[in-house]
Amino acid sequence: MKTLATSLLAIAAVVFAVAFALQDRYPWLGFVRAAAEGAMVGALADWFAVTALFRHPLGLRIPHTAIIPTRKDEIGESLGEFVETNFLADDVVAGKLGSLDLAGATAGWLAEPENARRVVAEGSGALVGVARLLDDERMRDAIEAVVRTHLIDPPWGPPLGRLGEKVLASGGHREVVDLVLDRVDEWLAAHPEAFATLVSRRLPSWVPSFVDRVVDERLHTEARRFLADVRGDPEHTLRHAIDDALAQLADRLQHDPDTVSRLESAKARAFDDPRIRELAASAWAAARTAAVDALSDPESELRRRAEAALADAARRVAGDPGLRASLNSRINDAALHLVSAYRHDIAGIISETVRGWDAAETTDKIETQVGRDLQFIRINGTVVGALAGVAIYSAATLIATLAR
């Protein structure tokens, strides 16, 4: 395009020279000379304007030339501000997101088994990478330090006490008590021999043996009957005693320094015990290995279930307009929040990127992208200049003729 534009200037110069030399012999060449003269003026003016954007024309440091390399940083900042104001404005983003059914489009895509399989495969690969990263010794040490700082070192007594109070207030512990009572009764029913010598061995030796058996059996029967009474009576004395004991424990965990200290000591001994640490390490290694194996195998039960669950969830979303609308609303709110919070940072990426470019590199990048269109300015200037030259010369000739 540069060659074409420059060639037109050269042609105009040749035509001007020929017409200027012969116009006295052939007066009509005055019109040709005027056109060529105007074409040269337009071509040179637009050449100067286009060149001044990217460099100093003819190497002359004329003021307000080489605009792009000289004001590269300001251009980057202006471009960033333009994007921030016109592309990342809340109303622009909200309007665009509002016209899209992102939840429906995503659900429709994920409903295809092949796409769900692809997502699960990519997610599995990422999780395998995370699991292998966590197996690094330094990473394990860092995780252990974080867990100890935020989970083990803080006192457990008051939080457990407050949790216990809430559980007791809601009555959630009663199911646990019922479960314990059921398990104890089942054990007693399955192990009557546990009472075989519980009392009889303490009786005098002269008591007949059948009395021993009667006493032991009676004790076993009464124990089961007592448990049956407790299980069947929500207001049984034992239940109230258990409630009172648990309430006292919850209160002591919050307000009794001795109870809190004993709990903290037991916690420290448990977590510092080499056997506990070794058991935890072994459990982690086994769980990690099992997870990595399951995630790495495309035919594993875990991945097949994940694929089926993902596709099923997508189909449910795609078939429920209300759910899609709710998800779209949440997506829009999240996107608007992110844009509002990081709009300036996103625009700053543009400014910082342009600022980091070399001036010559920036000039080349921009000229490569828009230079072809800028050369049309030179071509158009040549053509318009020629037309203007002919028009001016014709008007001047007409006025001179009329004046005679």
pLDDT digits (tens, 9 = 90+) for 175-207: 888 999 899 888 888 877 766 655 555 555 554
**Which of the four pLDDT bands, split at 50, 70 and 90, describes residue 212?**
low
Longest C-alpha distance within the chain, in Å?
166
> Helix 173-190 to helix 237-255 angle, to the nearest 10 degrees?
120
Average pLDDT of span 366-389? 88
**Which of the four pLDDT bands, split at 50, 70 and 90, describes residue 135?**
low
The H or E element that residue 243 is part of is helix 237-255
Most confidently modeled range among 218-232, 233-247, 365-379:
233-247
Can you tell me the distance from the alpha carbon of 255 to that of 263, in angstroms, rounded to the nearest whole number? Answer: 13
Can you tell me the distance from the alpha carbon of 246 to that of 381, in angstroms, rounded to the nearest whole number? Answer: 94
The H or E element that residue 34 is part of is helix 29-54
pLDDT for 129 = 84
Residue-wise pLDDT for 81-131, tens only, equals 898 888 888 888 888 888 888 899 999 999 888 999 999 999 998 888 887
Average pLDDT of span 375-397? 92
Residues 6+ apart with CB under 8 A from 327: 102, 103, 317
Cβ-based neighbour number of residue 124 at 10 Å:
21
Residues 6+ apart with CB under 8 A from 197: 216
Higher per-residue confidence, 79 vs 140: 79
Boundaries of every domain in the chain: 2-70+357-403, 72-98+320-355
pLDDT for 139 = 64
Residue-wise pLDDT for 303-317, tens only, equals 899 999 999 999 999
Taking CB atoms within 8 Å and a gap of at least 24, the contacts of 150-155 are 152/267, 152/271, 155/260, 155/264
Residues 6+ apart with CB under 8 A from 33: 16, 19, 20, 23, 393
Average pLDDT of span 72-83? 87
Residue 10 has pLDDT above 90, yes or no: yes
Cβ-based neighbour number of residue 383 at 10 Å:
17
Average pLDDT of span 323-342? 89
**Which of the four pLDDT bands, split at 50, 70 and 90, describes residue 381?**
very high
Phi, psi of 293 (to 5 degrees): -60, -45
Q: Which of 115, 122, 126 is nearest to 318 (CA)?
A: 115
Residues 6+ apart with CB under 8 A from 363: 54, 55, 68, 69
pLDDT for 51 = 86
Residue 377 has pLDDT above 70, yes or no: yes
Q: Which of 301, 289, 288, 290 is nearest to 120 (CA)?
A: 301
- Please give the share of the chain, as a percent, with pLDDT higher than 70: 92
Q: Which two tokens stand for residue 221?
A: 């029967």
Residues 6+ apart with CB under 8 A from 181: 227, 230, 231
* Contact of 54 with 314, CB cutoff 8 Å: no
Can you tell me the distance from the alpha carbon of 329 to that of 88, in angstroms, rounded to the nearest whole number? Answer: 18
Can you tell me the distance from the alpha carbon of 320 to that of 313, in angstroms, rounded to the nearest whole number? Answer: 11
The whole-model pTM stands at 0.51
Q: Which two tokens stand for residue 123?
A: 């997610």
Residue 216 has pLDDT above 70, yes or no: no
Name the least confident of 115-119, 144-148, 195-199, 252-256: 195-199
* H helix runs in 111-235, sequence order: 113-134, 137-147, 157-170, 173-190, 209-232
* Contact of 108 with 317, CB cutoff 8 Å: no
Cβ neighbourhood burial of 120 (10 Å; 0-12, 13-18, 19+): buried
